[in-house]
Chains A and B, each alone.
Chain A
């Protein structure tokens, strides 16, 4: 099955082509079923490959399947080749698995949309690109997938492009990603210049063997990190992710929770030998960027009112955790968190999509409440996702988050502190979201009655306190919308169709048991159930004699205080999760204290506004300067050459007086001169 690994991208490609040609004829829901079947087939192939790899000996699990020679140009030999090893198959498994579930969900969610088949066209293209990205055996195939997912992200975010805001969001995503792509390209050039190849095997081997200089390794690692920052929405390039919520919810679930944004983390883990060979400031930078992003995004999520925006900032925050793990050398923890995050975040997004669908496209949480009894399945699965992300054992999120915090503590207690605070905030804002949506006060009108609406207005005014005049302005706008909602009669939120509920249930199940793939090595857990993911992945991330001597996994941090306090740290993490949940419950459900949601948090610390201002004023000045330089200096030089030639020509044409006699005299003088040269200088004629 390893030789047939090319089927994994081939199936979505086939789906893409079928829908491209016959999509409109297939119509709804056949186009969706075709797309889902293709991705499902990819998942089956991935699973079979996984079992085959499992059966092989640990040392032989890395294969390169070459399809054809893609760029054979002199020294540069790049093949379209796939690298089949535990890391890429792990990524493939959850990409295609969750992808298939989301395809199934979309059949229900996009029901009735006029561009139904186009949606699945783009979704299949996305899965194709993502599988290329993770399966690529060299930087160029990965980059092909990288750009592909960026393009599909653009297509899908601006899917309902007739609304200007959606189109702008798509553009923003693409442009911000581009900045990161610049880093990836430079890294490719650097790698080729240094080692003469862009194959991962060659680069990683050269980093391990020490032939890669520290400067080059630093350069490559830093540049690829720049790409990862763009793709995985870290500071300072995270701005596209919240705006990307303008796309349909399945898109947010697939691309911006489970797969595309994890591409950056995957890339970092793939080149971990280069990271190891780089200067120390690179991993430290990665870790601190991840930690600060996590905290930053968590604070913003506290004050968001759109159900999807909370989840968007939450994604940025969790990605920050993954980069924190990468930066501290805990690659396995990063991948573990990536997998569990994919489960529960996709679950949360799909659940929110179900809520939006049931509330007839209402996305503001301030107009929801008490939905538990109307959408029980959605609520139940959402709650499971909530517990997972908050870090409550035995749900999946707890195990992965705890491992990341352990490694962070081993590196620096400051990082650990940031991680713990972020964990508390995560629990808090997720509780807030759950309460505002499923419990709490009912804020949606069931009767299209003005009196009723006015009564509800008063309620919502007192229930939600806000600071500042701008918040009041927002509130008045919301009031108007409250009245017009459900104006066609009796409005009741309804549960979603089975197409949408099945994936929710499956993902909920995975979120519950997902933790078993990497259980920590604590006494109470049986030895052969411990850190299975580590055993699976360690040839990729920890190898060589050094690793064999000291052991793998937690052996790296053996001897640090953190390792000794492992059990304590676990209990601290559980305590923080429970504290966060309790605080959220107290503030929002029991209304013991007033909720503090400063307007500055809602505006994302003014980051977006700052960028717009910067681009508008100094940025624009800079651009104008560059444009002026281009038109004056560069164009001036080019045009100047032409002008110079014209000027010289203009002067030279004064010799053409039109008088034949003058021409004759010049000829004559020339003759004399020639004669003179012959006679005088060369002797006789």
Chain B
């Protein structure tokens, strides 16, 4: 499977995701934000970090970069697109995913391991997870508080477009286990076609038991399925 990781000035999880993809034998290429064309890609990843220093709004400037025009075209033609953390923020800023990521409710940068529940596993990204499986993933963000209109929130729930929700280690989804104030404990969302996934937790940090755990690896093995 061919993958492309887009690199912006300020990206800092680009190498991590490349290592995760290469571990699973993806043919990966790093693509600079100024490039005007994409290599042949089955999967495009917008990595975590602080693209353009989070100037204006997180992801706003990256959303207008040269390469994003190509990413938008590819996404609209059905190419798989994964946005992690800052990548998720970029996806909402381009409109590829609806809604926005606001500052964390407690106004603190959150860098810690949290639990998330796999809500919808019938899709290209999560089919190797069991429904309701609880994963321990790392979060590291200041703007992860997912917000959207009441109508869109209903659509996300009704159409099963929420793959992951924050929960406790037993899988209880409640306000107590909502780290950032996201509506309905949302940790990630799909577009209607489920070819675009944005999520705040970092699955690429959880692919090796010797340094963390491997709860994130199935997100990538699912893609190979």
The answer to whether A binds B is no
Chain B interface residues toward A at CB < 8 A = none
